[in-house]
Amino acid sequence: MSRKVAVIVGSLREGSYNRMLATALTEVAPEALDFDFVAIGDLPLYNPDLDEGTSPEAWTRFRAQVKASDAVLFVTPEYNRGLPAAVKNALDVGSRPYGDSVWDGKPAAVVTGSPGGPGGFGANHQLRQSLVFLNMQPLQQPEAYIGNLMKLISETGEVTNEDTRKFLGTIMSAFASLIEKHA
Ligand code: FNR
């Protein structure tokens, strides 16, 4: 049976390497997984006042897309040793209205990509911290800190390193198993 995975990319940049990394992950994933890239760049900053009455259209669209998925794949850069604000905002928007969180119980995978050696470790763990609170089920192993990203993916999005391609496949196989476990 196929499972639907929402993909959230933490970089809003048009030429984002993390977006290319996300695409590469979908390409090596088991066939049972279908992917839906969910936009987060148009979400107004979360303000509870805006949930009184008719919520912003972008929030409604975002919540429906994530709700319709069986799992969520986050692929994000690290900003100042933490999570890009766009991703945190998306988490906040999806967590409300109170009691109707779109994240609750869903399996998740976190992949961070960075030009630096630590591979976005700070952002990766900061994100996991929120996912645990949101009662998601984050993939524990393998951990996915993709450092030196620009040396592993070409400007057109091709994974140029064979070991990296294999590793991306390992991540997605483990994620598919986790999703089945929670189905
Ligand atoms: C960065 N970058 C960065 N990289 C990193 O490994 N650790 C960090 O703390 C930061 N901090 C940071 C802050 C801000 C505001 C920006 C814009 C960038 C560099 C970042 O990893 C690099 O720009 C990546 O290319 C971003 O990924 P995309 O946009 O190519 O997907």
Question: pLDDT (tens digit, 0 to 9) for every residue of the chain, 183 residues total?
Answer: 899 999 999 999 999 999 999 999 999 999 999 999 999 999 999 999 999 999 999 999 999 999 999 999 999 999 999 999 999 999 999 999 999 999 999 999 999 999 999 999 999 999 999 999 999 999 999 999 999 999 999 989 999 999 999 999 999 999 999 999 999
pTM: 0.98
CATH number for 3-182 (one of 3.40.50.360, 3.40.50.300, 1.10.15.40, 3.40.50.10680): it is 3.40.50.360
Domain boundaries, the chain: 3-182
> For the chain, how big is the Rg over CA atoms in Å?
16
Atom of ligand 1 nearest to the CA of 118: 6
107-113 and 33-37 strand pairing:
unpaired
d(CA 38, CA 65): 7
* Ligand 1-lining residues (CB < 6 angstroms): 11, 13, 16-18, 77-81, 114-116, 120
CB atoms within 10 A of CB 183: 10
- Does ipTM surpass 0.85 in this model? yes
Q: How far is the CA of 40 from the centre of ligand 1 (A)?
A: 17
